[in-house]
Amino acid sequence: MSLLKKIRRYSVFYFVTSLCFVFPLQAKVFSKDLLQDMAVAYIAKQIGTLQNTNTQLSALPLDSRIPDRVCNTELELSTSDEPPFNRQVTLQAKCNDAQTWAQYVHVRVVEMAPVVVATANLTRGEVITKSHLSIEMKPTHFVRIQYLDDPTMLIGSRSKRNIRSGMPVLLNQICMVCKGDSVNIYANLRGLRIKTTGIALEDGTLGEQIQIKNKKSGKVLNARVDGVESVQVNI
C-alpha cells in the first residue's frame, strides 16, 4: 500500500472517530417541531387532557433561527407552573450532557365549551326547529352567559332578529314566549301542580319575568318563563 493511500485511510479513520466523540451514536437530534410536540405532550399529561377533550393545547412556534439541538441524554422537562394552568404555560427542555443547553417552549392552553349555533340563516320571527341548530366547541373565554349548550331548549322558540348561519344563538336573540302567544301557566299549591292557560302580554326568554293574562279569570299575572310557551307563577 502506498504512503499516500495510508495517509488517506488514516485521515478518514480519525475523522469518523472524532465525530463519534462529538456526536456519540446514542445522541438524539431535537428539531423545533419535536421540542414543541414534547412540550404539548408533557402539559397534556400534567392536566390529563388525554381524557379531557374539552382542552386544546398548542405550542407557539419557536424562532426559525434556532438550530436543531443534539443531546446525549434524556431531556429534562419542567415548568414552574402547576395545574390548573393559565392560558399559556412556559416549559423548559434541558439537556444535561457535557454540552448542556436549555430551550423554552410556550404552550397555549384553551378550555373549550359546547355552544349552540345556527346551521342556517334565521329571519326575524322564524320558528326555530331542530334542523336549524347544531353544537360547536368554542373557547370558554369567548363564551358569554347568554350562550346555550342545549339545542333542545330552543326548539319551538322564535328569533327576535336575523341570525346568521354559523353564529351562536343567544338567549337575548330569541323569545321562548312571544307577545300574543297562548301559554301554559303552571303553579304549585300545597304540593299540587296546577295548570291553566293564558296570553303573553310581552316577550320573554328563559328565566325572565313577564306579564301573562289568565284566559279564564282575565287577571294579569307576573310569571317567570321556564320553557317554550311555558311560564311559572307563585301562589
**109, 90 Cβ separation under 8 angstroms:** no
Report the pLDDT value the prediction gives residue 189, as an integer from 0 to 100. 82
**126 and 165 co-located in one domain:** yes
Q: Which residues contact 114 (CB under 8 A, 6 or more apart)?
A: 135, 136, 137, 138, 149
Residue 150 is assigned to a structural domain of this protein: yes
**228 and 154 co-located in one domain:** no
Report the pLDDT value the prediction gives residue 19, as an integer from 0 to 100. 38
Q: Give strand pairing partners of 161.
A: none
Amino acid at 164: R
Residue 117 is assigned to a structural domain of this protein: yes
**31 and 92 co-located in one domain:** yes
Write the CATH number for 120: 3.90.1210.10
Predicted confidence (pLDDT) per residue in 199-215, tens digit: 999 999 999 999 999 99
Instruction: Give the structural domain span for 35.
Output: 25-111
Amino acid at 225: V
Report the pLDDT value the prediction gives residue 99, as an integer from 0 to 100. 87
Residue 46 CA, distance from chain mean position: 18
**39 and 86 co-located in one domain:** yes
Report the pLDDT value the prediction gives residue 53, as an integer from 0 to 100. 66
Domain boundary residue among 95, 111, 127? Answer: 111
Euclidean distance between CA atoms 163 and 125, whole angstroms: 11
Low-confidence ranges of the chain (pLDDT < 50): 1-25, 50
Residue 11 is assigned to a structural domain of this protein: no
Domain boundary residue among 174, 191, 209? Answer: 174
Residue 126 is assigned to a structural domain of this protein: yes
Domain tally, the chain: 3
Domain boundary residue among 111, 126, 146? Answer: 111
The 8-class DSSP code of residue 163 comes to B
Residue 16 is assigned to a structural domain of this protein: no
Long-range contacts made by residues 120-126, C-beta under 8 angstroms, separation at least 24? 120/165, 121/162, 121/163, 121/164, 121/165, 122/159, 122/162, 122/163, 122/169, 123/159, 123/162, 124/159, 124/160, 124/161, 124/162, 125/158, 125/159, 126/158, 126/159
